[in-house]
Structures are given as structure tokens and as C-alpha cells.
Amino acid sequence: MQSVLEEFLASGVLAFMLTFMRIGTAAMIMPGIGDSFVTSRVRLHIALMLSLVLTPVVMPYMPSPMPQLFALVAMIVTEMIIGLLIGTIARVFVVALDTAGMVVSAQSGLANAQVFNPTEATQGSIIGSLFTVTAAVLIFATNLHHLLIMGFVESYQLFPVGVIPDVGEMAELMTKAVAGSFNIGVKLASPFIVMTMLIYVGMGVLSRLMPQLQVFLVVLPLQILMAIVLLAFMFAVIMSAWLSHYQSALMFFFSGSG
């Protein structure tokens, strides 16, 4: 019995510690759970529970035998860095909605309208805040957080425990994530970009036909109204398209093909 207990303390507890450093760190900043409206205590409890549940699953990826003190400290720091990378990549693609919201606000004449964004704890555009808050709800409503948890486990194949990750590879992953996020944001806002372009073309023609008319003052209320109407029709399509892109991005980056 004593040998079993010693073996558990030597392997199980240290394995849980390593699991918590990666999965717990990623969970603390992942979308939904890691948003600012979730208190730090709740996030900590969720991270501990996830780590406790997933420790037996990721146990085959743990080094055996466990390293000595200095090597263990270096391994813990490495696992924390990998967890930050995973959580950041998962959050970067939510920022795509904030990017789309800022573009839509600018194209709608509402760029100066700022509200408090609870997901980021900062001031942001009205439409961007609407998008990001809705995204946090949809992640749980569509069980997309299960894919995030699966990504945590799959990350052990992409970044093995005890192996210092290549800085260049991590930088490449982040570059691809940021570029993909910006690309998605522009795609989601493209209907509003086209609408504004057509309005500005019409404004140019109208100003040539009626030079004495203050075209901007006349068209601005119409531009805002058309943007709100277009948003009402496109909101469900935008969120559905973002969910599809988000799921594909997570599967790409966490399946080892990134």
C-alpha cells in the first residue's frame, strides 16, 4: 500500500500539476470561460476541474519517470507557455468578430458610438460588442467548447511534454492565426463594405448633379438606416458563418496540421 501511495505521489500529482499548467492556463483565457465577466475564482475552479478530469486522459503523454527538480521547473514553465499559446489562438478567432464589428461600425457611420464590451472589459464599438457577446453565448449553445477541450488534449501531440517547442513554429502559428482572424473579419463585414461603396458612388453622382446640396448631411441618416436594416437581415448569417469558420480554424490548428 505504501509503495502504491508513493508511486501515486511521484507520478499522479506531478502529472496533474503539469496538466493544470497547460490546460488550466489555456482555460483561463479561452473564449467563454476566460472572458472578463467570469470571475477569477470561477475560472480557477473550472480550470482545476478540467485538469482533474483530463489528467487520466493525457497521462500517456507524461514523461516517465518524472524528471528532477530543475528539469521539472523548466517543464512547468514550458507547459505554461504552451497553454498561453493555445488559449490565445482560441481567442484570436473571436477577435475576428470584433474586427468585423469595427468595420461595420465604420461603414455604418457609427464609428464614434462606443459601449462597454463585457467580454474584453474595455470600450468597443456597439456592433463589435454585440457580435462578441453573442459569440460567447453561441460557443456554449452549440457545444463548441467541447471542441476546445478536445483541442487541449490534441495539443499534446503537437507539443509533446518535456520537449521545448520551436519558437519559430509558435510564431508561425500565431501569424497564421492572426492573419486568418483578420481575413474572417473582413469577409463577415464584406456586405457592409459593398453597401457603403454603392452609397458613396451614389453620393458622388448626386454631388455632381446637384453641387449646391449638402450630400453628406442628407445621406448619412440614410446610410445608418440601411446599415441597421442590413444588419437585421444578415446578423444570423454572419454568426452562422463565424461559427463555421471558428470550428474549422480550431480543427486546423489543434489537429496537428497547423
5-38: per-residue pLDDT in tens? 455 555 677 888 888 888 888 888 888 777 777 7
Three-state DSSP class for residue 63: coil
Give the Cα separation of 86 and 131 in Å (integer): 22
Query: What is the structure's pLDDT at 257?
Result: 41
Looking at the structure of the chain, the number of domains it has is 1
Spatial distance between the Cα atoms of 24 and 84, rounded to a whole number of angstroms: 10
Of the two residues 222 and 121, the one the predictor is more confident about is 222
Note the pLDDT of residue 101.
Answer: 81
Question: Over pLDDT 90: what percentage of the chain?
Answer: 0
Query: How do residues 183-199 score in pLDDT, each as one tens digit?
Result: 888 888 888 888 888 88
Span of 132-136, 169-173, 181-185, 213-217 with lowest mean pLDDT:
213-217
- The candidate with the shortest Cα–Cα distance to 196, out of 128, 104, 127, is 104
Dihedral, CA of residue 215, residue 221, residue 227 and residue 230, to nearest 10:
-100
Over residues 241-256, the pLDDT tens digits come to 888 888 888 877 766 4
pLDDT on residue 187 = 87
**pLDDT for the residue numbered 113:** 64
| Containing structural domain, residue 119 | 2-254
Model confidence at 3, pLDDT cuts 50, 70, 90, reads low
The pLDDT of 215-222, averaged and rounded, is 75
Give CA angle at 35 (32, 36), nearest 5°.
155
pLDDT of residue 256: 47
| Residue 103 binned pLDDT confidence (cut-offs 50, 70, 90) | confident
Percent residues over pLDDT 70 in the chain: 87
Q: How confident is the model at residue 2 (pLDDT cuts 50, 70, 90)?
A: very low
Query: Residues 6 or more apart from 101 whose CB is under 8 A from it?
Result: 124, 125, 126, 127, 128, 129, 130, 131, 132
